[in-house]
Each structure stands twice: as structure tokens, then as C-alpha cells.
Structure 1
Amino acid sequence: MKIHHIGPMSVNPYQRQLAKTERLAAGKASSDKVEISKEAKELQEAAGWEQARQAKLEELRQQIESGTYQVDPKAVAKRMIDYYRNNR
């Protein structure tokens, strides 16, 4: 018994895969979409607070340079105690 035409039969599996991916891509029309999360919106609003913070820092800097800045030792001690109690 003799068998002829053993080997490739003009079937290229890579071409079939390529055709399949092209067919799927043609059926699916994709479009870009951008959504801004709630957290990102909050960060954008926080950017406005930056100017107020800079103004307060400048005021504190001037008070320190002029020697009129006063530290409340009780408030500092309370914050230190709260910090060490909560961060154990």
C-alpha cells in the first residue's frame, strides 16, 4: 500500500488564527472612554486648599522669623500622647 501527499496540505494554522482574530476585531468596535473617579475629583478639589495652606505657612514663617510665634505645650503633649496611644 502506498500513501502519497504526506506532509503539509496547504493548511497554515497561523493564517487561520490570524483570520479568526481579524474577524473578532471587526465585530467589536472599541472606543476609548475616560472616567474620573470620585477620589480623583476630591484630589482636584484639594488643589484649591493648597493656596490656603501656602498662605498659612507663610504667616507661620513670618511669626517664627519675627519671634512672635507661641507654642502651646499642653496641646503638643496631648497630640504626642494621642499619637503614641493610637499607633501601637
Structure 2
Amino acid sequence: MKINPYGSIHSYYQSSAQNVQSKASGHEKKDSVEISSKALEMQEEPVPTEREKRIQELQQKIDNGTYEIDERAVVEKLYEFWNGR
């Protein structure tokens, strides 16, 4: 007579015990990041002076606490991005 037709507690216990053992043995996977050659090339390129000026202006506004986000423009850009317009 089956009391639990969806699986046994014993099999659940064994699988969770195996997970604990694998973590304890130090064989867990680690995250890694790979940077493509194109991204490395982009890092090497100099920033145009116009863009550098804009970045400095924005940084000053942020530092002064005067930078305001145009929520409507953000929403419009997200809408365009997700709808392919």
C-alpha cells in the first residue's frame, strides 16, 4: 500500500544529503566572467570630448543633488526597446 504516490521521503533525503556533501567537499561551481575581444577593443577607444563634457555635467548635477530624472522619457525608451520601435 502506497501512502505517498508522489515520491518517497527517503529519496528526497538522499538527494538533499548529496547536495550538502558536494558543497562540503568544495566541488561547487564558481561564477566567472569572460569579456569578449570586441568589449576589450571598446575599452581601448578614447571617449569623445563631447561625451566627456556631458558625463562631467551629469556628474556635477548628481553630486550637487540637482539631477532630475525625466520618468516619462525613461518609460518611452523602455517602451520603444521592448516593442521594437
Q: TM-score range by the shorter chain?
A: 0.3 to 0.5
* TM-score using structure 1 length: 0.42
* TM-score using structure 2 length: 0.43
Q: Look at both structures and tell me which one has the larger radius of gyration over its CA atoms.
A: 1
